[in-house]
């Protein structure tokens, strides 16, 4: 089981080297992280985009890309389609967003003819290495689905479980978060959370999965809080996945972990045939590298 991000990087180095296709690779931050990942032996890069712009960045930043496969496509929409098609045809193992709007890339991912769509919902999974927590915390979905329905939450949980198991977690512990642990019809998120727990109890999510809900944040991450509140729980203080009710909650928890708790992170989009690395310009260099490593480990697990 991978408990820290440095272990994730080590696992990506030790496993089969995955081929990463970068859509619109003419992005300075992304290209730098991709080159570092290649130097570390994490991936084999395939750069799709404006060849001249890519080489201009490489020259300016002293990046050695002479041995990389480069597919010269200047139009962003066509670059997205070509990147997705390469992965769909087995010429790449996972995908990364470069200098391109997220909507353009995801439209290509969901294309019925060339895309990577499945019956799953696309959802975002962030992984945080928090200094004062004993293992990685998986947070979903604070990046894509705004106010998911119950059925969408089921698929979001499935995606996060897949990511967690890819990193070697044998018993995945999921907290369906809400403002309190009692079910109230006045708070629909508590109703959904309890339904997720009951669904898990039927065996829907498979063996080695425990879902509890509704749980307040303190109960999910603190065994002491559960003891004080006399709350009986199988996962309190040992939660793997925080399933949030809305994007605002996920966004707020994630940024709090990063900027106030000093957590390092990695992020991935799940639900397609392969993981999709989608990083923000505000993400640190380490977060970009971690996200590439995460995508590599999950891609290898899927293969």
Tens-digit pLDDT profile for residues 84-122? 999 999 999 999 999 999 999 999 999 988 889 999 999
Q: What would the mean pLDDT of 221-236 be, rounded to a whole number? A: 95
Residue 159 parent element (H or E): helix 150-166
Q: Other C-beta atoms within 10 Å of 201: how many? A: 11
| Domain 125-259 in the same topology as domain 5-117+272-302 | no
Task: List Cα–Cα distances, 128 to 2, 135, 138, 267, in angstroms.
Answer: 12, 9, 6, 9
Confidence of residue 303 (pLDDT cuts 50, 70, 90): confident
Q: DSSP strand E in the chain: where?
A: 18-23, 43-49, 69-72, 94-97, 123-129, 137-140, 172-177, 209-215, 241-243, 264-270, 276-277
pTM beyond 0.85: yes
Q: Other C-beta atoms within 10 Å of 158: how many? A: 18
Task: List Cα–Cα distances, 173 to 197, 236, 295, in angstroms.
Answer: 11, 9, 21
**pLDDT of 150 above 80:** yes
What is the widest separation between alpha-carbon atoms in the chain?
Answer: 63
- What is the pLDDT at residue 153? 98
Tens-digit pLDDT profile for residues 25-84? 999 999 999 999 999 999 999 999 999 999 999 999 999 999 999 999 999 999 999 999
Q: What would the mean pLDDT of 7-17 be, rounded to a whole number? A: 91
Give the fold, CATH level 3, of 125-259: Isopropylmalate Dehydrogenase (3.40.718)
Q: Could you state, in order of their start, the residue ranges of all structural domains in the chain? A: 5-117+272-302, 125-259
* Domain boundaries 5-117+272-302, corresponding CATH code: 3.40.50.10950
């Amino acid at each position: 089981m991978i408990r820290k991000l440095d272990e994730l990087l080590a696992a990506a180095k030790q496993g089969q080297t995955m081929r990463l296709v970068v859509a619109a690779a003419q992005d300075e931050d992304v290209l730098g992280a991709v080159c570092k990942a290649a130097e570390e032996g994490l991936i084999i890069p395939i750069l799709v985009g404006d060849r001249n712009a890519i080489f201009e960045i490489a020259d300016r930043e002293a990046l050695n890309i002479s041995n990389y496969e480069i597919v010269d496509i200047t139009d962003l929409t066509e670059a997205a389609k070509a990147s997705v098609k390469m992965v769909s045809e087995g010429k790449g193992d996972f995908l990364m967003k470069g200098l391109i709007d997220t909507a353009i890339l995801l439209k290509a991912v969901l294309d019925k003819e060339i895309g990577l769509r499945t019956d799953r919902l696309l959802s975002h999974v962030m992984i945080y290495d928090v200094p004062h927590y004993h293992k990685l915390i998986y947070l979903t979905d604070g990046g894509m689905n705004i106010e998911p329905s119950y059925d969408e939450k089921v698929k979001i949980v499935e995606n996060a479980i897949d990511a967690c198991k890819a990193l070697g977690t044998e018993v995945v512990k999921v907290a369906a978060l809400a403002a309190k642990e009692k079910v109230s019809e006045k708070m629909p998120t508590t109703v959904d959370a309890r339904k997720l727990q009951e669904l898990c109890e039927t065996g829907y999510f498979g063996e080695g999965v425990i879902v509890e809900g509704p749980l307040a944040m303190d109960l999910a991450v603190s065994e002491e809080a559960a003891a004080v509140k006399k709350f009986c729980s199988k996962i309190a203080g040992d939660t793997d996945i925080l399933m949030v009710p809305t994007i605002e909650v996920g966004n707020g928890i994630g940024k709090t972990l990063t900027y106030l708790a000093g957590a390092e992170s990695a992020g991935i989009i799940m639900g397609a045939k392969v993981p999709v690395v989608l990083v923000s310009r505000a993400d640190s260099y380490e977060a970009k590298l971690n996200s590439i490593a995460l995508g590599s480990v999950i891609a290898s697990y899927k293969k």
